[in-house]
Amino acid sequence: MEEPPLYKFGPYKIDAREVFHATPLSYAMVNLRPLLPGFLVINLRILSVCPKRVVKRFADLSSDETSDLWVTAKEVGAKLEQYHKASSITFAIQDGPQAGQTVAHVHIHVIPRKKGDFEKNDEIYDATDVKVKEKEMKEKLDLDVERKDRSMEEMAHEATEYLALF
């Protein structure tokens, strides 16, 4: 029997059921926590596109990896924008800890956007970051049950919907 492909995200092993698209150098996956709590979110998803090779900083990628990563992110963005009936996309790399990177593996956040998705459009960026002031974090952790990780079943279900787009 063929082994399922192995994807790594920093120190973590990624279950192949979370991955909905892959190229020779990159892969795209659904997220464990679709968005951080504390924000008005209507049907929004964060997807991640990563190089297969585990590297921390964007500058560590070869030109081939850089090109493959972003051509892949472009395609993922276009398909997911259409699928979610959105009209724009936020693409972002938090490249290094002082930019909010929490897993030491380059990844592009791809977020389909639509009118009214956040009370204030710009807050989408805040929501993608894990580093918030300690007090705020504590309040959120205390108050918001949604912070819990999603189950593999939930993630696999979302990934299966996207698989059909590629």
Active site residues: 107
Query: Does residue 26 touch a second copy according to CB under 8 A?
Result: no
Q: What is the dihedral of CA 10, 16, 17, 22, to 10 degrees?
A: 90
8 A C-beta contact, residue 9 and residue 15:
no
What is the C-alpha separation between 113 and 149, in angstroms, rounded?
A: 23
Task: Please check if 31 is assigned to a binding site.
Answer: yes
Asked if residue 59 binds a second copy (CB under 8 A), the reply is: yes
Residues in contact with a second copy, total (CB under 8 A)?
A: 46
109 is annotated as contributing to ligand binding: yes
Q: What is the phi/psi pair of residue 155, to 5°?
A: -65, -45
Q: Is 40 in the site for a second copy (CB under 8 A)?
A: no
35 binds a second copy (CB under 8 A): no
Tokens of 82: 């259409």
Task: Tell me, residue by residue from 83 to 122, as one string, x for binding to a second copy by CB under 8 A and - for no binding.
Answer: ---xxxxxxxxxxxxxxxx---------x-xxx-x-xxxx
Confirm or reject binding of residue 39 to a second copy (CB under 8 A): no
